[in-house]
Amino acid sequence: MRILSIKQALLRKGLAEYGTQIRAASVSAAVKDAAIGDRSIYTLDPINLNEPKFDKILIANRAFREKSLVMKTARAMGIKTVAVHSDVDSNALHVKMADEAVCVGPAPTNQSYLRADRILEAVKETGAQAVHPGYGFLSENTDFAAKLTAAGATFIGPNSKAILDMGDKIHSKRIAGEAKVNMIPGYDGEIADEDECVKVSNEIGYPVMIKASAGGGGKGMRIAWNDKEARDGFRLSKQEAASSFGDDRMLVEKFIDNPRHIEMQVLCDKHGNALWLNERECSIQRRNQKVIEEAPSSFVDPAMRSRMGEQAVQLAKAVGYDSAGTVEFLVDSKKNFYFLEMNTRLQVEHPITEEITNLDIVQQMIRVAYGHKLNLQQSDIKINGWSFESRVYAEDPFKGFGLPSVGRLTKYEEPVDSVEGIRCDSGIREGSEISIYYDPLICKLVSHGPNRQVALDRMRDALDNYVIRGVTNNIPLLRDIVEEERFRSGNITTKYLPETYPQGFEGASLNVGEERTLVALTATLQALKIARAQMFTNQRKAACIDPLLKDYSFVVELPKRDGEDRKTANVEVRFIDGNTEIAEVFVDGNKVKLSGEICLAKSVLHLKVDSESAKDATVQVVSKRPGELVVIYKGSQFKMRVMPKAVSELLKHMKEKPKLDLSSVVLSPMPGAIKSVSAEVGQMVTEGQELCVIEAMKMQNSLHASKTGKVKAVNVKEGATVDEGEILIELE
């Protein structure tokens, strides 16, 4: 194997055999400097450029956000970086940010990012002295950590024994119990099959949590409330665990109803020193995966914080832990906390801990791995304000709070420059592609403020100003949560989403004033479009009235939900003194005055609204097709039709398009790969019976029959790749 120039690497692109291809990343100094981000917040233990350090580290992970983050810190420390990537990620931002880049295989993770042998080969060829695993993939692989050490390189993470002890949930519970950490009631052993799962579940008492011993990130986990759910949950979780972790051992424990999920960040060195860096509240979850996190928790008082921190450090010391890690707890309503698991890696949500402690955790991991002692004492760790992290995913929040979406980011604008106290850990750019092979996380959007309410307000404003086009995303749900009364009060549990949205998420609700504002805006934009068209097509003559001084009349059709009648509003628009930044609008006779940058070219409009029962608004304009405008307000999309009155009258006589009978078909809820098909043509199936299983972005979903009937057609086979909305199975 040899180092290739950029030109040679490009010539070899597409070869069937993947060798290690290394190139010098051609990124301008300006781009790299911009990518570093603001490191000035890390004042607790600032970077010492005179301190001995690694010369070069390799980041052995696919997660663009974490790769970019590690690269930012490493470059600030004066350390060169190497990125590994699959063939489909060759143009990713982290590849261009790195000093060197190595192609380790094709898109499937088991042929690239999970190939420890290729990562080790890349370490050898590039001369990297250490490897940072980011999170996921090889970050908790004890075999990889041991092999790396044997090869003479340093693993920037805990020692392999600590990973082994804490990575196995069954074994970790025994160690935690011996370390006097509070424990959840459960079965102390591996569950062999579905029958044993049902037996143990009945002994513990429903509800129970079925989860993979080697799992993490919400994968390989199911809650069961009865015997049937225990059998189904065991089977699906076991398959998911084998696919995600290569380890399908399962365990069962008591599920604590209405709990909070609160975790404690720990930091340890190789000299016996250990700190706890305060807690993070991670209760807002769907499918056991975190959606919004905050630090500190509004539920934890100083005495409880101290007890949790001390127990977390006890556990870390018991296993000889020597890096950054997280001890997770379930907390009941009486502030009793129970050990859940320990994550022996950098957590996705670690930025909010950095924001409130002013400590760069990645920098500390690199220092500790090199062999330095921690420069801090427990008394140095304070709480500076409040911080939130919203996980911005490429997924559809209107389907089970988030089924994956794929596509290319045709437009991408982060809100870091428009809102104070905002940090974006994204690692992507406009033009990046979200595929079915990897996690759908686009960005970790972080806000910070002097208190909880300010931090929440900044998060709300950041979500309003975050522009993402090309893929469906979960900003509508995030935006609704941060304004929701229960969340604002801090009264949350892990059941928050199903309790707050019992019918599923349906989008933002508008009051009368907000509805009028959107109607006024869409009519104004349509009027502006017509006026500009008249001016630029030379239709204006000397004797004609200036198009911006004319009155415009429209009928605006409001967006409606299923079961609602068609709603329209009569609207008149006038630009005050021909000024496109001030419009006076009458919506069914109610005056709405708009001022600000009312512009067709801008992605985000900041409007001043002078109207009864209305307030100022931040609105995004998505589509400007003839007679139709799609706008985003309060995170949700609203499709508004603007038309002359005559057209509106004719539409009343148009028949609605008949809808597909969804009870007779099984549609693919998302793009993905078919893992199994249990239905056969001619087979009688009952309502609720599983017909097939689809996998996307490492998550498996069971698809069921909506009614009892005979299978008319099976349109897919195991292993097939399908698109969202594709008809998989038909019933008579």
Q: Regarding predicted confidence, which is higher, 31 or 64?
A: 64
- Tell me whether residue 39 is in a domain: no
pLDDT for 404 equals 77
Asked if residues 634 and 479 have their Cβ atoms less than 8 Å apart, the reply is: yes
- Tell me whether residue 147 is in a domain: yes
Say if residue 456 is in the same domain as residue 552.
Answer: no
Q: For residue 270, what are its two tokens?
A: 């190789």
Say if residue 363 is in the same domain as residue 270.
Answer: yes
Say if residue 647 is in the same domain as residue 516.
Answer: yes
- Tell me whether residue 47 is in a domain: no
Q: Tell me the C-alpha to C-alpha distance, in Å, between residue 697 and each of 240, 351, 438, 629, 673.
A: 11, 24, 5, 32, 9
Q: Regarding predicted confidence, which is higher, 146 or 680?
A: 680
pLDDT for 162 equals 93
Among residues 346, 365, 384, which one ends one of the domains? Answer: 384
Say if residue 180 is in the same domain as residue 190.
Answer: no
SS3 81: strand
Say if residue 495 is in the same domain as residue 397.
Answer: yes
Q: For residue 321, what are its two tokens?
A: 């832990």
CATH number at residue 642: 3.30.700.30
pLDDT confidence tier of residue 429, bands split at 50, 70 and 90:
confident
Q: For residue 441, what are its two tokens?
A: 């996380």
Which one of 143-147, 365-369, 576-580 scores highest in mean pLDDT? 365-369
- Tell me whether residue 38 is in a domain: no
Which one of 64-68, 88-92, 728-732 scores highest in mean pLDDT? 728-732
pLDDT for 217 equals 62
Checking if the pLDDT of 535 tops 60, the result is: yes
Q: Regarding predicted confidence, which is higher, 98 or 56?
A: 56
Q: With 0-12 CB in 10 A as exposed, 13-18 as middle and 19+ as buried, what is 218?
A: middle
Query: In the predicted model, what is the mean pLDDT of residues 635-649?
Result: 89
Q: For residue 722, what are its two tokens?
A: 């399908």
Say if residue 357 is in the same domain as residue 269.
Answer: yes
pLDDT for 108 equals 75
Q: What is the count of structural domains for the chain?
A: 7
pLDDT for 718 equals 93
pLDDT for 453 equals 97
Cβ neighbors of 498 (< 8 A, separation 6 or more) are none
pLDDT confidence tier of residue 365, bands split at 50, 70 and 90:
very high
Q: What percent of the chain has pLDDT over 70?
A: 90
Asked if residues 204 and 252 have their Cβ atoms less than 8 Å apart, the reply is: yes
Checking if the pLDDT of 640 tops 70, the result is: yes
pLDDT confidence tier of residue 590, bands split at 50, 70 and 90:
very high
- Tell me whether residue 580 is in a domain: yes
Handedness of CA 672, 676, 679, 681 (dihedral sign): positive
pLDDT for 9 equals 38
CATH number at residue 397: 3.30.470.20
Say if residue 145 is in the same domain as residue 76.
Answer: yes
Say if residue 350 is in the same domain as residue 201.
Answer: no
- Tell me whether residue 507 is in a domain: no
pLDDT confidence tier of residue 43, bands split at 50, 70 and 90:
confident
pLDDT confidence tier of residue 2, bands split at 50, 70 and 90:
very low
pLDDT confidence tier of residue 712, bands split at 50, 70 and 90:
very high
Query: Hey, which residues are catalytic here?
Result: 345
Query: In the predicted model, what is the mean pLDDT of residues 614-642?
Result: 87
- Tell me whether residue 660 is in a domain: no
Checking if the pLDDT of 331 tops 50, the result is: yes
Q: In this predicted structure, which of 292-306, 383-397, 460-474, 597-611 has the lowest mean pLDDT?
A: 597-611
Q: How many residues does the chain have?
A: 732
pLDDT confidence tier of residue 262, bands split at 50, 70 and 90:
very high
pLDDT confidence tier of residue 21, bands split at 50, 70 and 90:
very low
Checking if the pLDDT of 39 tops 80, the result is: no
**Within a 13 Å sphere around the CA of 241, how many CA atoms are in the beta-carbon half?**
22
pLDDT digit string, tens, across residues 112-170: 888 888 999 999 999 999 999 877 667 778 888 888 888 899 999 999 899 989 988 77
Query: In the predicted model, what is the mean pLDDT of residues 468-490?
Result: 95
Say if residue 224 is in the same domain as residue 124.
Answer: no
- Tell me whether residue 293 is in a domain: yes
Q: Which residues constitute the domain of residue 600?
A: 512-652
Say if residue 623 is in the same domain as residue 680.
Answer: no
pLDDT for 64 equals 61
Say if residue 403 is in the same domain as residue 415.
Answer: yes
Checking if the pLDDT of 652 tops 70, the result is: yes
pLDDT for 698 equals 67
Backbone phi, psi, residue 136, to 5°: 80, 180
Checking if the pLDDT of 436 tops 50, the result is: yes
pLDDT digit string, tens, across residues 180-233: 999 987 787 889 999 999 999 999 889 899 988 876 666 788 999 999 999 999
Say if residue 496 is in the same domain as residue 459.
Answer: yes
pLDDT for 275 equals 98
pLDDT confidence tier of residue 257, bands split at 50, 70 and 90:
confident
pLDDT confidence tier of residue 440, bands split at 50, 70 and 90:
confident
Asked if residues 596 and 583 have their Cβ atoms less than 8 Å apart, the reply is: no
Query: In the predicted model, what is the mean pLDDT of residues 550-570?
Result: 84
Cβ neighbors of 258 (< 8 A, separation 6 or more) are 332, 333, 493, 494, 495
CATH number at residue 683: 2.40.50.100
pLDDT for 544 equals 61
Q: In this predicted structure, which of 25-39, 442-456, 689-703 has the lowest mean pLDDT?
A: 25-39
Q: How far apart are CA 72 and CA 25, in angstroms?
A: 15
Cβ neighbors of 161 (< 8 A, separation 6 or more) are 142, 319, 320
Checking if the pLDDT of 470 tops 60, the result is: yes
Q: Considering only CA atoms, which of 638, 614, 605 is closest in space to residue 418?
A: 605
pLDDT confidence tier of residue 563, bands split at 50, 70 and 90:
low
Write down the mean pLDDT value for the chain: 86
Angle 202-206-211 from CA coordinates, rounded to 5°: 90
Matching residue, tokens 């209107």: 398
Among residues 593, 626, 652, which one ends one of the domains? Answer: 652
Among residues 384, 413, 438, which one ends one of the domains? Answer: 384
DSSP 301-318: -HHHHHHHHHHHHHHHHH
Query: In the predicted model, what is the mean pLDDT of residues 70-89?
Result: 90
pTM comes to 0.81
pLDDT for 62 equals 67
